[in-house]
Amino acid sequence: DVKVTQSSRYLVKRTGEKVFLECVQDMDHENMFWYRQDPGLGLRLIYFSYDVKMKEKGDIPEGYSVSREKKERFSLILESASTNQTSMYLCASSFPGGGTEAFFGQGTRLTVV
Amino acid sequence: RKEVEQDPGPFNVPEGATVAFNCTYSNSASQSFFWYRQDCRKEPKLLMSVYSSGNEDGRFTAQLNRASQYISLLIRDSKLSDSATYLCVVRGVTGNQFYFGTGTSLTVIP
């Protein structure tokens, strides 16, 4: 069974904290993605990576950074958490190109207080 | 303009009904098309890919109209367990990015 695993299901952090969200996939996918999902706004791409150490900004990268040191792991970093970053964060992975789909992790519901 | 647009609904239908969702996409060079299902507070999961010739999986039928740039999903004989949000997803020109509609909410009523 293919797996994308996010490190936490629920997380509560304080404003100003540095927050790390981890994602690991076991499918040898080149592409990995971080999205946030908010009611009425759907999934919005924060960053994606198409190879180790490679990254590209998505639609809403401000306040976030990412790290991909190994193919299977893609980390999302909130440099200084703010209340407007309270959201559901979803990691996904896929093969590049073609007609293959994206596989999602179970999501991390982050609350910043 | 958004890459993918969907009617958010909600659609409330009785058990056994047939319901159809449509979605439009803006980039005519888009490569691949999918419908995902998302249950409340869960991650999206692939329901079915959408092929140019149309495809069916049990009670679900997906169709693609490239000329009009729209994708449809038909659910026949709705079950209570079909209640979920259905996301229209388009894979971009480069093949690296996925573009998601905001989802259409379906509730099947007993």
What confidence tens digit (pLDDT) does each residue in B41-50 have? 999 999 999 9
Has residue B93 got a pLDDT over 80?
Answer: no
Q: How far apart are the first and last CA of chain A?
A: 36
| Interface size, chain A vs chain B, as Cβ–Cβ contacts under 8 Å | 54
> What's the pLDDT band for B53 if we cut at 50, 70, 90?
confident
CA of B84, closest CA in chain A: separation in Å? 14
Is B34 an interface residue toward A (CB < 8 Å)? Answer: yes
Task: Check A42 against B101: CB less than 8 A apart.
Answer: yes
Considering CB atoms only, which of B8, B96, B101 is closest to A50? B96
pLDDT at B9: 85
In chain A, the residue whose alpha carbon lies closest to the alpha carbon of B37 is: A104
pLDDT of residue A12: 98
Least confident of A85-89, B3-7, B59-63, B104-108: B3-7
pLDDT at B25 over 70: yes
Residues of chain A with C-beta less than 8 angstroms from the C-beta of B7 = none
pLDDT of amino acid B2: 83
Question: What pLDDT does B95 receive?
Answer: 67
Residue A37 in this model has a pLDDT that exceeds 70: yes
CA distance A88 to chain B (A): 9
State the average pLDDT for chain B: 93
Mean pLDDT, chain A, integer: 95
| Min distance A105 CA to chain B CA atoms (Å) | 7
Mean pLDDT confidence for B6-16: 93
Answer whether B31 sits within 8 Å of A97, measured CB to CB.
Answer: yes
Residue B97, pLDDT score: 87
Contacts of B95 in chain A (CB under 8 A): 96-98
* pLDDT confidence of residue A74: 98
Confidence at residue A96, expressed as pLDDT on a 0 to 100 scale: 87
As beta bridge partners, residue B75 has B19, B60
Q: Does A101 touch chain B (CB under 8 A)?
A: yes
Residue B1: its pLDDT value, please?
73
Separation CA B21–CA A19 (nearest Å): 38
Candidates B97, B99, B102, B105: best to mutate against A (most CBs of A within 10 A) is B97
Local structure of A18: helix, strand or coil: coil
Interchain CB distance below 8 Å, A90 and B95:
no
Mark yes or no for CB contact B87/A104 under 8 Å: no
Residue A94 pLDDT grade (very low, low, confident, very high; cuts 50, 70, 90): very high
Nearest to B43 among A31, A48, A90 (CB): A90
